[in-house]
């Protein structure tokens, strides 16, 4: 399991950017605070906390674009991914996705320079089954004079993964390695940022 994670899930890239629509209700200072949280190790200010509270209220539904074997999948909580066969995993294993290129909603999007830092999100999945997919008929030859086509059936192996937790916590890394977590869940989780002082 560790070897597959090291093989396919690369390290995070430092720089990311965030896109915020002009129609949002955030003030200019709060927009500036949100753009500050995407640096490698930002310092969290009260204006940033207020901006995060506004984002939590405005955007409760979030999607993520994860990469498995260099193939992108756009997922939310509860989705089932049908990917290629992952031989290093068994049924019931928990997978943490480290290669995410985009996290966003209908109006706001957080994009990375290829990939987003894994400290900003937490996405996990459970392996449901390791089975065979649909049969595929492959054309392997054609005899022009006989007017016959030689075909062969193949049944590739697939892995089914259910997204257990999709962007349920967005982690902000503090300058002295303290982690402030706030919820951006698909479920409506109560706001617990009130009263936090850094």
> What band does 63 get if pLDDT is binned at 50, 70 and 90?
confident
Mean pLDDT of 159-170: 69
12-57 pLDDT tens trace:
333 333 343 333 444 444 444 444 444 444 444 565 556 555 655 6
Q: How confident is the model at residue 127 (pLDDT cuts 50, 70, 90)?
A: very high
> Given this model, what pLDDT does residue 66 score?
92
When comparing pLDDT for 162 and 146, which is higher? Answer: 162
Which residue is it, tokens 């399991």?
1
pLDDT at res. 50: 60
- Rounded Cα distance between 5 and 11, Å, is 10
Between CA 140 and CA 29 the distance in angstroms is 63
User: Which pLDDT belongs to residue 181?
Assistant: 35
**Where are the domains positioned within the chain?**
2-183
More confident residue, 130 or 19: 130
Calpha distance 111→95 (Å, rounded): 22
62 vs 30 pLDDT, higher one: 62
Residue range 83-120, pLDDT digits in tens = 989 888 899 889 888 898 887 777 767 777 888 877 77
Q: Which of 45-54, 131-140, 173-182 has the lowest mean pLDDT?
A: 173-182
pLDDT value, residue 73: 93
Across the chain, mean pLDDT equals 65
In contact, 112 and 102? CB cutoff 8 Å = yes
Q: How buried is 59 (Cβ within 10 angstroms: 0-12 exposed, 13-18 middle, 19+ buried)?
A: middle
What was the pLDDT predicted at 51? 55
Question: Tokens at residue 135, please?
Answer: 């049969």
The 3 state secondary structure assigned to the chain is CHHHHHHHCCCCCCCEEEECCCCCCCCHHHHHHHHHCCCCCCCCCHHHHHHHHHHHHHCCCCEEEEEECCEEEEECCCCEEEEECCCCCCCCCEEECCCEEEEECCCCEEEECCCCCHHHCCCEEEEEEEEECCCEEEEEEEECCCCEEEEEEECCEEEEEEEEECCCEEEEECCCCCEEEEECCCCCCCCCCCCCCC
């Amino acid at each position: 399991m560790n070897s597959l994670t090291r093989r396919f899930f690369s390290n995070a890239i430092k720089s990311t950017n965030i896109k915020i629509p002009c129609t949002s209700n955030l003030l200019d200072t709060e927009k500036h605070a949100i753009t500050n949280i995407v640096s490698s190790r930002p310092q969290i200010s009260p204006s940033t906390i207020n901006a995060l509270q506004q984002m939590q209220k405005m955007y409760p539904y979030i999607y993520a674009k994860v990469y498995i074997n260099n193939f992108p999948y756009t997922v939310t909580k509860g989705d089932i991914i049908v990917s290629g066969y992952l031989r290093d995993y068994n049924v019931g294993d928990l997978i943490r996705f480290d290669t995410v290129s985009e996290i966003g909603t209908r109006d706001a999007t957080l994009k990375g320079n290829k990939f987003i830092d894994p400290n900003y999100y937490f996405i996990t999945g459970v392996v449901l089954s390791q089975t065979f997919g649909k049969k595929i008929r492959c054309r392997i030859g054609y005899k022009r004079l006989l007017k016959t086509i030689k075909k062969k059936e193949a049944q590739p192996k697939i892995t089914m993964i259910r997204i257990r937790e999709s962007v349920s916590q967005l982690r902000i890394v503090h300058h002295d390695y303290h982690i402030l977590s706030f919820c951006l869940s698909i479920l409506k989780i109560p706001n617990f940022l009130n009263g936090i002082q850094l």
